[in-house]
Structure 1
Amino acid sequence: MPARLLPILVFVPILLGFTFSPREFAREHGGITRLSIATGNTGGVYYPYGGGIAKVVSESLPKIEVTAEVTAASVDNLKLIQLGKVDIAFALADTLADAVHGRGPFERTGPVAAQTLAVLYPNYTHLVTIEGNRIARIADLKGRIVSTGSAGSGTEVIALRVLRAAGLDPDRDIRRQALSVNASVDALKDDKIDAFFWSGGLPTASVLDLATSAGLTARLIPNDDVIPALQAAFGPGLYKRIVIAAGSYPGQTEDVPVVGVENALVVDGGMDEALAYDLTRTLFERQRELAGIHPEARHLAPARAVEGSPAPFHPGAIRYYQERGVWNR
């Protein structure tokens, strides 16, 4: 599904389909470099985080103006990078691995020349239901109506992998819906689905909305038991056990162990080195402000940002990390 590109927070008109580099684009527009960031849907973390990045970069770098765009998230974002329609993108590490190797959703279009600026924060694989649905583990999804995330999203990628790792066929063993996190929450409230997957940071606005809805009790289902199967299939570096700590959402009284996967901020490999350096530097110089926009930015730190990306780092980002003394490769 093509992305629905909408400007948020910092409005800049964007020319879709350009094939020249950002520096060439700047010369065509009186020296102003206009960049776009592919984020995700409005109920997730990418959207506000990307809007925050657009804001701080536009404020910090002379003659740089940035727009954050609403998309279907990771798969969509990397295809937009490949098409030259955006300059910067959020992506889950497992989707990014598929992209740079030209496999899975990218098999027909070939490898994506994406390079990493920073590893940002971990995503938590939410499997969400409501009390009374008699779902306590992944196996209980058999025969139920389950949303596996928007088509073209990282949530969809990991949801299908988790189901298969648990021994369920997504096309036969569940009645699958492809809904955004916002639509999934609404459908669960309206008793149109029994559960949904969501891969996102903490807290996710739409899940917060569900957890605070009157007349129902949201439940997060543990799913870390499939990690050995995921690591056997996709290698040891992409998936790990992490915990949605008790109290992360209203009414959540216990820790919930889940599948974790990192998020990266990537750019087209042809981006100017000086520009990539400036973007990377600005992320860390304005980190406290970004954390005020969304708490997942609290994880942003140079030493952490260089670990966990399956895509090569951009030379401009490497130069910044070398200056900070955290690049030892």
Structure 2
Amino acid sequence: MMDRRRFLGLAAAAATVGIAGCGPEGAGTVRLASGEIGGFYHAFGRKLAAAAERSGEVRIEPVTTAGSQANLTLLARGEVDAALALADSVGRSGEQVLALGRVYENYLQLAVRADSPIRTVADLRGARVNLGAEGSGAALTGSRILRAAGLDPMRDVDVAHRPLRESVAAVINGDADALLWAGGVPTTLLDVPDRMRLIDLGDFATPMRELFGPVYDRVEVPAAAYPGAAAVHTIGVTNLLLAAPTVSDAAAAAIVELLVWQADSLVPIEAAGTQFLDGRSLISTGPVPLHPGAAAVYRNWHG
């Protein structure tokens, strides 16, 4: 295992040359595209920024966004230095990105009103469905789920794209029939089970893998996640913490140090028990190569 004091000394020395960050605050600032207020990405971004402030090794500036696809666009344009994104969104536009780590798994949550007659994805035919905000990962994954269920998103479903808070209000008020959200469990804005109910998506994990690749897992939303609700199965999608190639090795290393050494403090309290950071899986970033600065830390940490 890497000696922490020795690493921090090396990182501090590198800082005299220039830690990284193309952000407007100057050297040492990494602008991180996170997600919507009320969502897991947004909460994680704030926690990571707080951990960075405590460490003093790098400054992280979270940027509120619509989600994965918007984050990748911002990263490709050079408007942010790092981004959170669902694994199935990465690489679709040919963007050149590097990974700092595999952080969490997002849970797809298809929610309807508690008294809704909708029980399955097939029941969404002719329904008004919010598939995540424009630019979110749910917007992409949601259309894939509909296709896996034999529904044409353009013809069989009345699809809209609204932010989470608006989507929840629309479903509860009867202005929409369902919403799809990709996030942590629980998501406090989803009023389950009092006014909303989750639809089981577990049967779609295998067809999703067959149709669109191996980034989809069958996972469980335990009953304890939303007290009073029944457990349901759904689809999990890996979250990646990404960085632009222009981020320096020292800045990338400082962020990975936070992931490795402060993992317990980086899980939003409401999601503790279903989400966690595991040092053994941080390096499992699939086809997205690790940033050299991140790889150096993992080599030292894993021995």
Give the TM-score, by structure 2 length: 0.88
Deviation of the 1:233 alpha carbon? 1.7
How far apart, in 2, do the equivalents of 1:225 and 1:153 lie? 23
CA offsets per residue over residues 147-177 of structure 1, 9 Å max, x none? 1111111011110000001000111111111
Matches within 5 A, 1:233-244: 233-235=211-213, 237-244=214-221
Distance 2:271 2:151 in 1: 34
Secondary structure, counterpart of 2:29 in structure 1: strand
Structure 1 residue matching 2:135: 3-state secondary structure: coil
- In the TM superposition, what are the counterparts of 1:154-169 in structure 2 within 5 Å? 154-169=137-152
- SS in structure 1 opposite 2:189? helix
Distance across 2 between alignment mates of 1:251 and 1:186: 21
Contact 1:39 / 1:46 at 8 angstroms: preserved in 2?
Answer: yes
Pair 1:86-2:64 in alignment: no
Say whether the 8 Å CA contact 2:21–2:251 is kept in structure 1.
no
How big is each residue's C-alpha offset from its partner over 1:118-146, in whole Å with a ceiling of 9 and x where there is no partner? 11111111010122220110000011111
- The CA distance in 2 between the partners of 1:269 and 1:45, in whole Å, is 25
> d(CA) in 2 for partners of 1:163 and 1:25?
39
SS in 2 for 1:156: helix
Query: Which amino acid letter does the alignment assign opposite residue 87 of structure 1?
Result: D
Q: Counterpart of 1:181? A: 164
Residue 107 of structure 2 is aligned to residue 124 of structure 1: yes
Please give the alpha-carbon distance, in whole angstroms, between the structure 2 residues aligned to 1:180 and 1:232: 29
Alignment gaps of 5+ in structure 2:
1-17
Q: Is the contact between residue 129 and residue 177 of structure 2 (CA under 8 Å) also seen in structure 1?
A: yes
Give 1:284 shift: 2.1
1:1-329 mapped onto 2 (5 Å cutoff): 23=20, 32-62=27-57, 64-96=58-90, 99=91, 103=92, 106=93, 111-207=94-190, 210-211=191-192, 216-235=194-213, 237-252=214-229, 254-291=230-267, 295=271, 299-325=276-302
CA contact (8 A) 1:287 1:298 kept: no
* Cα-Cα RMSD: 2.2
Q: Deviations over 1:214-268 (max 9, x none)?
A: xx53211011222222112222x2011011111211331x220111111111101
CA distance in 1, matches of 2:163, 2:105: 20
Is the CA contact (8 Å cut-off) linking 1:48 and 1:293 kept in structure 2? no
Give aligned-pair identity as a percent.
Answer: 32
The one of the two structures with greater contact order (alpha-carbon pairs below 8 A, sep at least 6) is 2
Distance of 2:271 and 2:172 partners within structure 1: 26
Contact 2:221 2:233 in 1 (8 A): yes
DSSP 3-state at the match of 1:94: coil
For the residues of structure 2 that align with 1:24 and 1:44, how far apart are their CA atoms? 25
Q: Distance in 1 between matches of 2:301 and 2:110?
A: 38
Q: Distance in 2 between matches of 1:319 and 1:186?
A: 46
- Cα deviation, residue 308, structure 1: 4.6
d(CA) in 1 for partners of 2:21, 2:119: 54
| Counterpart residue identity of residue 20, structure 2 | R
Cα distance, 1:186–1:69 mapped onto 2, change above 3 Å: same
Aligned partner of residue 304 in structure 1, secondary structure: coil
AA aligned opposite 1:52:
K
User: CA contact under 8 A between 1:41 and 1:71: conserved in structure 2?
Assistant: yes
8 Å CA contact 1:38, 1:88 repeated in 2: yes
Deviations 1:193-215 (Å, cap 9, x if unpaired)?
Answer: 011111111111211xx227xxx
Distance 1:74 1:129 in 2: 23
Gaps spanning 5+ residues in structure 1: where?
Answer: 1-20
Asked if structure 1 preserves the Cα contact closer than 8 Å seen for 2:22 and 2:81, the reply is no
Give the TM-score normalised by the residue count of structure 1.
Answer: 0.81
Give the 3-state SS of the residue equivalent to 1:261 in structure 2.
strand
**Residue identity in the other structure for 1:143:** G
- Residues 170, 300 of structure 1: CA spacing in aligned structure 2 closer, same or farther, 3 A cutoff? same
Change in 2 beyond 3 A, CA 1:286/1:66: same
Structure 2 Cα separation of the partners of residues 238 and 308 of structure 1: 11
Distance across 2 between alignment mates of 1:232 and 1:288: 34
